Structure 1
Amino acid sequence: MMSQYSTLGEVARFTNGAAFKSSEWSEDGSRIIRIQNLTDSKKPFNRTRRPTPSSIQVHPGDLLVSWSATLGVFEWQGPDVAVLNQHIFRVEPDYSKVDKLYLRYALVRVLDQAQRHLHGATMKHVNKGDLLATRFFAPNLSEQRRIAEVLGRIDALRAKRRKAMALLDDLTQSIFTDMFGEPIANPHCLRESTVEEIAEKVTDGEHLTPKRESEGIKLLSARNVRSGHLDFGNVDYVGVDEYERIKRRCDPRRGDVLISCSGTIGRVAPVETDEPFTLVRSVALIRPKRDVITTGYLAGLLQTSALKARMLQRANASSQANLFQGQIKALPVLLPPLEMQKEFDQRINQLARLKSSHQTHLAELDALFDSAQHRAFSGELWDDSLT
């Protein structure tokens, strides 16, 4: 059977959401789905009574694509019918041409490829015309369902690994609270300080757009700062000369703590490598004074829900939030005795080893998924050994 290709516009309708003014928000009415509600289930919803066309009314199970700032594919899990904010497409598949799950995986691949081409953009976004014109492998429906089932099985294993890692993050926060109490309330009356006072250095990455290379020194952005670790799997590179220029401002070292400070605010990771790398401005660096505070304790403190909430409050209220150096320096820090901090570090290091094992297995599953996805949407013959 010969391979068949279609464009996304031929197999689905893409409808952009509406712009809702703050004056149109209300205490009740329909929930407004914003990008932050898709990327973080804990984010509160704005509501509106404004009448909206059925084309932007989102029903449970509908596919959504965020196409500006944060690129992603989502399925609305809400129990009710909500309305769609701007910068998000509602995707209505033509079920006579495409399987819904197959389309979802196709969209994930298309956006992954788009993300690579959009590196360095101030505000990443996908042009609707270009998106709808994107060609992808679309065999008959039976084959689409078979491919989607294989990808779905691998994806389910990846989800289990991520859930296990999230539970370890929750346990880290529980250990912190048990030892030191809630950091804003400070029930144990610990010494209070600020990030500026406990840090040798607070800075962010390169402000000018660095000249990127296909290889060289790794250049990390906010997407590489995960919860508790750095992800070096999808990075840009700069040449040695560019690196030497940038590192005069920002030179990450083992023991530093990094914070995502643009787009997705407040992901925190310690630097646990001696390999040289550098940062763009969407990542902030804190170099702690080692005789005052440990790296593990500072990272644990900044990952608490209370400090993350404080960061979000201080970030600029815009379509893409930003947390600036002055706001980071002003963040509150509790200072328990150094011995207590070291005890905390020892306890979370045990969890970190478990998390590292999960990360290794997740990376293997990610590689398997990427390989399977590439073969599926390249129109290559499917390897029956994978099924």
Structure 2
Amino acid sequence: MIGLSDVDLPAGWARARLGDLGKYTNGRGFRKSEWSDTGRPIIRIQNLTGSAASFNYYAGNLEERHTVRAGDLLVSWAATLGAYLWRGPEAALNQHIFKVEPFIDRDFLRYLIDYKIQEILAAAHGSGMVHITRSRFDELPAAIPPLAEQHRIVEALEHHLSRLEAAMRAAAGAKRRLKPFSASVLDRTVLGTFTISAASSPSDASHHLLDGFASKRFDYAALPSLPVGWFWRRSSDVCEFICSGSTPAAHLMHPGNGDVPFLKVYNITQDGRVDFTNKPTYIDRETHEHPLKRSRVRPGDVLTNIVGPPLGKTAVVPDLHPEWNMNQAIVAFRAGPDVHPEWLALALRSPFILGMLQKTAKATAGQFNIALSTCRELPLPVPPMNEQLDLVARSAELLEVTRRSASQLALISLRSRHLRQAILRQAFAGKLVPQNPSDEPASVLLDQISARDGKTKRSTRHPRKTAAVRAASPPPSMPSIPAPTNAVQQELPL
């Protein structure tokens, strides 16, 4: 392995290159004109990663080397790197995916490739899309154990990783349930389900303050009834002002420091906070008080974005600074005497209220925009002030529970990925299962592979055959792989 000398290898292990451990066949490039509604499904990278469930199909004749069957080992080597076992029907292999004919234990090679890919991704430092060349892939160094130990390692890995993956699935399921729970809390709070007065019949009088008003964007008459003492009000009637932001010339914005903090959509979090630690931008006092005078905001103002996706990120401006400014993708609502800022923020975060706004959004080139005039006509439920304060406090407790749970689940997910990599690291360092002196050394297996592939001894490292020569040679046969024996496993804390 990288960083280990030959004397550091476990007993019976030997060095190899990843390209020597199997025959790797790249998929075929299918033109759109060859797609069909019937035939073999064409396996693309997104079909392996799960980001897409639909397939294109190919009904023509297909070479055996581009045919995939259940149990075949596949490696995506562009965009999203990964090793997968195909479990679907007979299929056609698209380009940028290797079909692998293993020369060693198939599952050991799959785990080894997966581990090496994670090393590559870690070295990329989060640079986004990663592409690995065939030559770089082939030259990746690996330490290979005896074949019998490969079987024991696979048994141990499947034992540990199956438990870890079950825990990760449970965490992912819990995370999926948090969003609808938060949505339910927001809607039930804002529409009055949580209030004591909701025990009585809903009041038809809750609409009467909208009588005489008409809107092309909202059907005021179709709004649900609210508890007794609650009323639907237009946002412009309960806010001192509602205005959108502005964006100055680029040279007037200063990253990191300046006179007045300038808010952008990415500074508003999905859970209802202003996060100015995220790429903070400032403007000078002159810009704040003259060109951007109309987009000044202060602590207690409620912000929501009107350009997305996503739409409806909402937060109350904190008191970290006496004044702020904001860009054109944000609208500020300043609460009047009948509505508390925190209640206003809850209402704007409610899926019911947000849904009404989103239905008015106009799409342009993949971007959704809500008009400022729409925000001023938006109907909002307004309970008595004492109920607003009580419901804000109660909902804050429930939403804090979901926030903490989401944070814990994110930490669990991160730790699980690190633990998985740690287990693989133990496996490929020879520390997951014990060595058996009676195992046939890996060097014998690698010499057999080298000989069957038409090479001399591995240590000579002659250049690989050209594609033309290799195509003319019969594919190497798999070495005989005995059935796994009972493995002695080292228990890892999961």
Alignment TM-score, normalising by the size of structure 1: 0.59
Return the alpha-carbon distance in structure 2 between the equivalents of residues 73 and 272 of structure 1: 39
Please point out which of 12, 18, 21 is paired with 1:8: 18
**Deviation at 1:11?**
1.3
Deviation, 1:370, is: 2.2
- Residue of 311, 324, 327 corresponding to 2:366: 327
Q: Please state if 1:366 is matched with 2:417.
A: yes
State the partner residue of 1:134.
140
Distance 1:365 1:386, change over 3 A: farther
Any gaps of 5 or more consecutive residues in structure 1? 181-185, 192-196, 203-240, 258-269, 308-313, 315-324
The structure 1 residue matched to 2:96, chosen from 84, 87, 101, is 87
Residue 128 (structure 1) shift: 0.9
Report how far residue 131 of structure 1 moved. 0.5
Answer whether contact 1:158 1:366 (CA < 8 A) is retained.
Answer: no
What SS does the aligned partner of 2:151 have?
A: helix
Question: Would you say the 8 A contact 2:185–2:399 is kept in 1?
Answer: no
User: After the TM superposition, which of the residue ranges 13-22 and 285-294 deviates more from structure 2?
Assistant: 285-294
Offset, 1:337 = 5.0
Cα distance, 1:347 vs structure 2? 5.8
Distance 1:367 1:295 in 2: 40
Determine the C-alpha separation between the residues in 2 that align with 1:293 and 1:131: 52
Change (3 A) 1:349 1:381: closer
Q: Give the direction of change, closer, same or farther, for the CA distance of 1:348–1:250 in structure 2 (3 Å limit).
A: closer
Superposed CA deviations along residues 106-129 of structure 1, whole A, max 9, x for unmatched, are 111111111233346574201011
Does residue 256 (structure 1) correspond to residue 295 (structure 2)? The answer is: no
Pairing 1:1-387 to 2, within 5 Å after superposition:
1-40=11-50, 43-78=53-88, 80-94=89-103, 98-119=104-125, 123-172=129-178, 176=183, 253=267, 255-257=268-270, 276-278=277-279, 288=314, 290=316, 297=349, 327-330=366-369, 337=380, 350-351=401-402, 353-379=404-430, 385-386=490-491
TM-fit CA distance, 1:31: 0.6
Identical amino acids, percent of aligned pairs: 25
Alpha-carbon contact 2:37-2:57 (below 8 Å) kept: yes
CA distance in 1, matches of 2:19, 2:115: 16
Any idea what the Cα deviations from partners look like across 1:63-85, whole Å, max 9, x if unmatched?
A: 2211111112222221x111111
Tell me, in whole angstroms, the C-alpha distance in 2 between the residues paired with 1:43 and 1:99: 29
Q: Give the drift of 1:150.
A: 2.4
Query: Does the C-alpha gap of structure 1 residues 123 and 361 become closer, same or farther in structure 2, counting only changes over 3 Å?
Result: closer
Provide the aligned C-alpha RMSD in A: 4.9
Note the residue ranges of structure 2 that are not aligned, 5 or more in a row: 1-10, 188-218, 225-231, 233-241, 248-253, 281-308, 317-332, 334-343, 383-387, 435-488
Query: Structure 1 pair 147/25, CA: closer, same or farther in 2 (3 Å)?
Result: same
2:73 and 2:85 in contact (8 A); partners too: yes
Q: Which residue of 1 aligns with 2:320?
A: none
Counterpart of 2:418, as a letter, is A
8 Å contact kept, 1:172–1:348: no
What's the secondary structure of 1:89's corresponding residue?
strand
Matches of 1:295 and 1:132, distance apart in 2: 57
1:30 Cα deviation from its structure 2 partner: 0.9
Q: Which amino acid aligns with 2:417?
A: D
1:106 counterpart SS class: helix
Note closer, same or farther for the CA distance 1:137–1:120 as it changes in structure 2 (3 Å cut).
same
TM-score by length of structure 2 reads 0.48
Is the alpha carbon distance of 1:172 and 1:368 closer, same or farther for their aligned partners in structure 2, counting shifts above 3 Å?
Answer: closer
- Name the structure 1 match of 2:438: none
Contact 2:353 2:380 in 1 (8 A): no
Amino acid at match of 1:166: A
- Quote the residue 2:204 is aligned against: none
Secondary structure (helix, strand or coil) at the match of 2:53 reads coil
CA spacing shift, 1:273–1:293, aligned 2, 3 Å: closer
Contact 1:252 1:285 in 2 (8 A): no
Deviation of residue 157 (structure 1)?
2.2
CA distance in 2, matches of 1:173, 1:137: 45
Distance 1:179 1:249 in 2: 25
Q: In 2, are the aligned partners of 1:5 and 1:136 still within 8 Å (CA)?
A: yes
How far is the alpha carbon of 1:372 from its aligned partner?
2.5
Partner SS, residue 115 of structure 1: helix
Contact 2:347–2:380, Cα closer than 8 Å, also in 1 = no
Secondary structure of the equivalent of 1:369?
helix
Whole-Å separation in 2 of the counterparts to 1:47 and 1:107: 28
Give the distance between the partners of 1:300 and 1:112, measured in 2 at CA.
42
The higher-RCO structure (CA 8 Å, 6+ apart) is 2
**Residue-by-residue CA offset, 1:294-321 (whole Å, 9 max, x unaligned):** 599589999x9xx9xxxxxx9xxxxxxx
**Is the partner of 1:26 in helix, strand or coil?**
coil
> 103-112 or 114-123, which moves further after superposition?
114-123
Q: CA deviation at 1:382?
A: 5.2
**Separation (CA, whole Å) in 2 of partners of 1:199 and 1:113:** 47
Partners of 1:199 and 1:161 lie apart in 2 by 45
- Cα distance between partner residues in 1 of 2:351 and 2:142: 42
The answer to whether the 8 Å contact 1:64/1:88 transfers is yes
For 1:111 and 1:76, the matched residues in 2 are separated by 18
Matched residues, number? 298
Residue type at the aligned position of 1:163: R
In structure 1, give the amino acid aligned to 2:425.
H
